[in-house]
Structure 1
């Protein structure tokens, strides 16, 4: 049986072909008309569900004079988690095409507010219906988001929020809760030992990193008086920079017993920990399940990862932008991103 071309929007004929029935039969099933055998109804409904096909939506999209365009403004550089999100966007090609959607990924330096703001401003008047952005919480970025919204573009923040802006929605975990979870893990795994705890972040200007650090400090200061949190190192999610900064910190503080990496740069963080010679004594908690963190968890270098599902985030961002563009309600529970605790023994 020939499958429909994933580069073309799905039609009722495609559903009929997949179910092995006539177009008239599909129409009877869609309108609950009598005269169709139960087994045939089942095959048609399975084909509809398998393709997430919505006839009225498909017709409306085909009636539009042009496809909708969404831009995803993502961090440049080798951030494995962000690369996972982009990979999942690529896997959605057939789903996007069926709805006449085009998604463009724009890489930029999200750690530089002027660069990020300029990237967002460049999208105004660019015929984009929606923009998803990994945002820095800075006045210039906030202003750029507001300008996009004022120009009629729907904006969602992805992973990192700018809550004081007029963005339409935020897609991501509760980062304060994630930080509190990391703090509880570090404190409990360190146990009764006294010592210092190091924190590495990409930038405290990134709302997700700042909120994670806030939550982490809340728990450590209130529940683990045996631990002293050192000033935050900002490694810009870069391996080499994170490694160098953390190596110097280990040299100054041989009594470090805990380590929290609130962002990326994990390869550099792990190398600095290994070079210190105390990786077996230091409890190491980080974020996200990637090829690298999976390896570190299996090796026992990393004790736990606070995880969020990159595929869910990619799909949720597109679905929310599409709902906003259509003026449809957002299914809040469907788009809620969960916090997971992943350790070596429950790796997915």
Structure 2
């Protein structure tokens, strides 16, 4: 039984005598199977503890690659910088590669450059397309862990996903809107930044399914490819309001909420219920002022901690727990804004 520990340390960990542990290690007769299993478990636990000691004070350089509006990437940057302090003395140094618009080919080139240059891990928010999944596979084959953030790439061999259950978020939005209208006819404008993002697609699937099953009198008009940018999103909303006189609610899957509200105001239309995502500074202001009614929020800082644990696990062979756990979706109103954001 190979190991690198003193007999007395194994005995202490296993709760056995040193003589018993010695008999197990040297495979002498007269040892019960249960005792042998206790010794093996003690060695595994000591190995985990040793691995944990070895990463104390270690530095990890990671790359965060994201296509998203500035208001979201600003929040992401803050989360990585603040949560890195909670892992001290282990140090995470983050290199941020953010853009509001990135073509898939540009993302692939960036990921390949990072792979050739070297990194301890890549955190990725990108469209779910084949060429990006292939770039993720090249990173993983090179021994570089990739953790998808907020929106997943389920067909890519990534190390982990950190984020919310997006389908459950869409179902929650449908419930909030459906209960507001209590069986009365209504039409919801569902806004996606882009159909290329798997997370937004999952939200939309959950939303549609729940409306169809529980609130069949509510219709949906979908707009997409505004990329969360105010100018493009505003133009799409204006066109939708002109074409559909019955729109009286919004499920904002992809952001650009000030532009959405501005388009309603310019058209002299009322939005009876507005459900948005993410507690960024803009949405907080709109929530406090009553211009949006609900924000579906998940703890981005918890996602960042999941990222760090996943990278530590891959780079240091430390067994980590809870990597696959999805963030809980919270319904935030003006009356239960988290204390840290008030």
TM-score tier, shorter chain, comes to: 0.7 to 0.9
The answer as to whether partners of 1:116 and 1:141 remain within 8 angstroms in 2 is yes
**2:233 alignment partner in structure 1:** 242
For 1:167 and 1:69, the matched residues in 2 are separated by 18
Query: Alignment partner for residue 346 of structure 1, among 333, 336, 342?
Result: 336
Q: Which segments of 5 or more consecutive residues in structure 2 lack a partner in the other structure?
A: 1-47
**2:29 alignment partner in structure 1:** none
More divergent stretch after superposition (84-93 vs 101-110): 101-110
The reply on whether 1:203 has 2:194 as its aligned counterpart is: yes
**2:272 alignment partner in structure 1:** 282
1:11-50 map, 5 Å: none
For 2:83 and 2:334, the matched residues in 1 are separated by 30
CA-CA distance at 1:110 after TM superposition = 6.0
For 2:112 and 2:266, the matched residues in 1 are separated by 43
Query: Alignment partner for residue 190 of structure 1, among 181, 186, 190?
Result: 181
CA-CA distance at 1:316 after TM superposition = 2.0
1:198-277 map, 5 Å: 198-277=189-268
The reply on whether 1:73 has 2:65 as its aligned counterpart is: yes
**2:124 alignment partner in structure 1:** 133
Distance 1:338 1:329, change over 3 A: same
The answer as to whether partners of 1:110 and 1:134 remain within 8 angstroms in 2 is no
CA-CA distance at 1:147 after TM superposition = 0.8
Distance 1:85 1:167, change over 3 A: same
More divergent stretch after superposition (132-141 vs 330-339): 330-339
CA-CA distance at 1:59 after TM superposition = 5.3
**1:171 alignment partner in structure 2:** 162
**2:133 alignment partner in structure 1:** 142
Query: Alignment partner for residue 303 of structure 1, among 280, 293, 298?
Result: 293
**1:88 alignment partner in structure 2:** 79
Distance 1:68 1:347, change over 3 A: closer
Per-residue displacement from partner, 1:199-232 (whole Å, max 9, x unpaired)?
1111111010000001000011111121111233
For 2:257 and 2:290, the matched residues in 1 are separated by 14
TM-score (structure 2 length as normaliser)? 0.78
For 1:342 and 1:95, the matched residues in 2 are separated by 26
For 2:127 and 2:118, the matched residues in 1 are separated by 24
Q: Kindly name which structure, 1 or 2, has the bigger radius of gyration based on alpha carbons.
A: 2
Q: Which segments of 5 or more consecutive residues in structure 1 lack a partner in the other structure?
A: 1-53
CA-CA distance at 1:76 after TM superposition = 5.2
For 1:112 and 1:270, the matched residues in 2 are separated by 28
For 1:190 and 1:145, the matched residues in 2 are separated by 44
Aligned residues: 292
For 1:336 and 1:233, the matched residues in 2 are separated by 26
Per-residue displacement from partner, 1:245-294 (whole Å, max 9, x unpaired)?
10121122121122111022222122222323233x43211101122212
Distance 1:124 1:183, change over 3 A: same
**2:107 alignment partner in structure 1:** 116
The answer as to whether partners of 2:250 and 2:274 remain within 8 angstroms in 1 is yes
**2:54 alignment partner in structure 1:** 60
